[in-house]
Structure 1
Amino acid sequence: MDHVTHLECVLCGATYDPEQVIYTCPNHEGVKGILDVHYDYDVVLDRFDAALDGNVASQWKYEAFLPVSEDADVVTLQEGGTAVHETPTLGAELGVTASVKDDGENPTGVLKDRATSVAVTKAKHAGRDVVTCASTGNAAASLAGYAARGGLSCRIFVPEDAPAGKLTQPLVYGADVLGVRGSYDEAYDLSLDVTDEFGWYNRNAAINPFQVEGKRTVGHEIAEQTSGDLPDWVVFAMGDGCTVAGAWKGLREFADLGLVEETPKLLGVQSAGASAIHDAFHGHEDATAVAETVADSIEVSRPRNTVKACRALEESGGTAVTVSDEEILRAEALLGRTEGLFAEPAGAAPIAGVRTARAEGVIGDGESVLMVVTGNGLKDPESVRSVTDDVVSIEPALGDVVDRYGRG
């Protein structure tokens, strides 16, 4: 892995060997010492020979940028390469030139597959037989699917109130799913304890430094797919902060290396009931309340990647907004009704965030905006039913249809 130079603590700058299995900087209590991966870009560019022509079959087009050994057996389900959809009807509703990158198209239905492919590849290369993580559902499904693909055992910790639909996936993939009688944060802490106790490979994106690296391929793709017509804004929902941090790293890399000409501003969106990164970015008091939102994928009280997320927003010239759960659900229905795209609540939060940013004057009239859907709506189809029409019950008779719609 000679293209990876070192791991560096974002707080104290201590450096570590990237070949070892290490999660956080031991100079700091708990998991505050998040590590960042640093590269020798001369080596990366020497290996990267793919044409930036907008055709992306999977994220492994960017393998030269990923922190895996050349002799590693890549565990992949062809994640990445998701489409950017022009969405003019949605744009007219929001008063912007709009497009949507739908990462719900990934193999297990979520952007996290990008990170999981890297995690399971590294776990297998390191000789680990068991992978683990804490999750509200999506990371659990993703890790279980890739563990099955890679022939590894998978043991997952979830809060017991995680959506049933999300827990069906990892069970189908053969994982041990352990429902913790507590919050996501308690499940998270337990996953760290078992990692120390049993030596299982931990995929938790907030602490495993290589997970953000997998997620940054969404930034590489956006840079390539919009080259020559870069949007003014790229919008992500934020939970632990890993996705927005990774995306920015990918976008910035391609610009710094001269592969594209410029970078967009980032808009980070959080639920008002889980707003810790937003609050930190705007200098508000540290919130201690337990997170509560219908968008379970971003229901995080103590985000572990706040530093990286805030740095990404600041460096891009962007900002963060919050939206209500009602606004998130209405955005989910709006996206489906206008463009035929189905997002889970967290995946629809960017649409709600753009509406808020427009109202606050952050995004101007006619600016171009790319919103990233991070998860498929089939992950949690029940939540949105509160803002959709009910099924209309009729008899199996033509007359009932005529009564409703008139004569043909």
Structure 2
Amino acid sequence: MVMEHVTSLECTLCGETYAPDQIIYTCPNHEGVAGILEVQYDYDLINDRFDEPLDGVIESQWKYRAFLPINDDAPAVTLNEGGTDLFVTPNLSDELGVDIRIKDDGRNPTGVLKDRATSVSVTKAAYLGQDVITCASTGNAAASLAGYAARAGLPCRIFVPDAAPEEKLAQPLVYGADVLAVDGSYDEAYDLSMDVTEAFGWYNRNAAVNPFQVEGKRTVGLELAEQTKGDVPDWLVFSMGDGCTIYGGWKGFREFYDLGFVDETPKMLGVQATGASAIHDTFHSHDDIDDVAKTVADSISVGRPRNTVKACKALEESDGTSLLVTDEEILAAEKTLGTTEGIYAEPAGATPIAGVRKALDQGIIEPDETVLAVVTGYGLKDTKSAMKASGEPQYIGPDLEAVDTLYGDTGSS
């Protein structure tokens, strides 16, 4: 059955269009993976089909099935992803000096926002009768894909850089995936995953090139639009790696605005690490763009982002901007988020908080504006970095005197 609400796949560079019911990753008019495709929709048909109440009750992202590029008769492969909490965070607001809320997408089934995209791509792979599904990953996409592939009963083969955190490799191994640690960087693992896709015909989940991945990620934007209806923030903040997530968030929010479901849209702030700054450098037209990535925030440690065009489009269309933060600022933000609000984020998930602090210092965000930051991954994804951020435990003897030495005889100071 065709997807009537999906009209085409359109190249972001040359505008060439392709039928949406075929397996195609990039536009063949361009070398390599430059010709990224975007899914185009019949929004009149989507509007006719979407009859869910916009009441803030979101049990999963499949509330927005009418927006997703899924065949009507395709069974959803789901672990109840999406529907994550939006927190009012007064302690963090006081700490930063601005009204900020947090959407914690680390609460997704495998601990990462990427579950939204993976659910869509695995649903499509299963519906199309694919035998094997693959991707490259710094760790999070690997865990996500392995979990959903297990749910679908599909063999899963994943390529990761050999420096990926052990915690992130444990997940896909438990889920039964073949985890192939490549002697090299993420970009080298990515290139290999593309080579095997072409050679063996495996279905490729890579968010950077699979055009349907961003469409799953955009449900975070749909949710945010619904959750902030009547109180849209001035700024919506994401960390940036390959560029897919910030564009997905913007696209979803903008769709609700275009359909008249919300009255305004936020400005997008994209935050990158100084050691992985390619999208930021492109957006600000810097001459020297370094394609070597090195940052403690491994989830956004991408030297050659494949969705730079889409990420910059989100920043431009929203009248937003981007900035860079150091690894030290990222780790400090991870600690701040935990101590002020009890939200445990991996470094990439805490990067937006570091970005908000710097944006305030630079006058990009004004103190009287409102902010919403998206935490993209859970802290247990990288406990070594968390220890760097927080320090070691205090080791004491097994007696009351040891505690009294620390806190005094009241035990409260």
User: Which category describes the TM-score, using the shorter chain as reference length?
Assistant: over 0.9
Deviations 1:203-222 (A, max 9, x none): 00000000000000000000
In the TM superposition, 1:315-394 aligns within 5 A as: 315-394=317-396
The corresponding residue for 2:23 is 21
The corresponding residue for 2:6 is 4
**C-alpha displacement of 1:226:** 0.4
Q: Answer whether contact 1:133 1:155 (CA < 8 A) is retained.
A: yes
**C-alpha displacement of 1:384:** 2.6
The corresponding residue for 2:131 is 129
The corresponding residue for 1:247 is 249
Q: Pick the aligned partner of 1:227 from 226, 229, 248.
A: 229
The corresponding residue for 1:216 is 218
Q: Answer whether contact 2:277 2:290 (CA < 8 A) is retained.
A: no
Q: Answer whether contact 2:334 2:389 (CA < 8 A) is retained.
A: no
**C-alpha displacement of 1:389:** 3.5
**C-alpha displacement of 1:93:** 1.3
In the TM superposition, 1:68-79 aligns within 5 A as: 68-79=70-81
Deviations 1:255-311 (A, max 9, x none): 001011110000000000000000000010241341100000000000000000001
For 1:369, the aligned partner's letter is: V
Q: Pick the aligned partner of 2:100 from 98, 101, 112.
A: 98
The corresponding residue for 1:277 is 279
For 2:129, the aligned partner's letter is: G
Normalised to the residue count of structure 2, the TM-score between the two structures is 0.98
Alpha-carbon separation, structure 2, partners of 1:285 and 1:169: 40
* Secondary structure, counterpart of 2:125 in structure 1: helix
Alpha-carbon separation, structure 2, partners of 1:302 and 1:318: 22
For 1:78, the aligned partner's letter is: N
In the TM superposition, 1:139-288 aligns within 5 A as: 139-288=141-290
**C-alpha displacement of 1:313:** 0.4
The corresponding residue for 2:40 is 38
Deviations 1:137-169 (A, max 9, x none): 000000000000001000000000000000000
Q: Which is worse superposed, 385-394 or 363-372?
A: 385-394
For 1:228, the aligned partner's letter is: G
Q: Answer whether contact 1:24 1:32 (CA < 8 A) is retained.
A: yes
The corresponding residue for 2:88 is 86
For 2:227, the aligned partner's letter is: Q
Q: Answer whether contact 1:95 1:366 (CA < 8 A) is retained.
A: no
Q: Answer whether contact 2:278 2:291 (CA < 8 A) is retained.
A: no
For 1:108, the aligned partner's letter is: T
Q: Answer whether contact 1:223 1:254 (CA < 8 A) is retained.
A: yes
Q: CA RMSD in A?
A: 0.7
For 2:9, the aligned partner's letter is: L
Alpha-carbon separation, structure 1, partners of 2:406 and 2:313: 55
Alpha-carbon separation, structure 1, partners of 2:291 and 2:42: 42
The corresponding residue for 1:64 is 66
Q: Does 1:51 align with 2:57?
A: no
Normalised to the residue count of structure 1, the TM-score between the two structures is 0.99
* Secondary structure, counterpart of 2:71 in structure 1: coil
Q: Answer whether contact 2:122 2:152 (CA < 8 A) is retained.
A: yes
Matched residue pairs, number?
Answer: 408
Alpha-carbon separation, structure 1, partners of 2:253 and 2:99: 20
The corresponding residue for 2:310 is 308
Deviations 1:40-63 (A, max 9, x none): 111111111000000100000000
**C-alpha displacement of 1:367:** 1.3
Alpha-carbon separation, structure 1, partners of 2:81 and 2:18: 29
Alpha-carbon separation, structure 2, partners of 1:195 and 1:391: 46
Alpha-carbon separation, structure 2, partners of 1:305 and 1:105: 25
Structure 1: segments with no counterpart, 5+ residues: none
For 1:304, the aligned partner's letter is: R
Alpha-carbon separation, structure 2, partners of 1:31 and 1:364: 38
Q: Answer whether contact 1:280 1:286 (CA < 8 A) is retained.
A: no
**C-alpha displacement of 1:36:** 0.5
For 1:115, the aligned partner's letter is: A
Alpha-carbon separation, structure 2, partners of 1:363 and 1:369: 9
For 1:23, the aligned partner's letter is: Y
**Runs of 4+ residues deviating >4 angstroms:** none
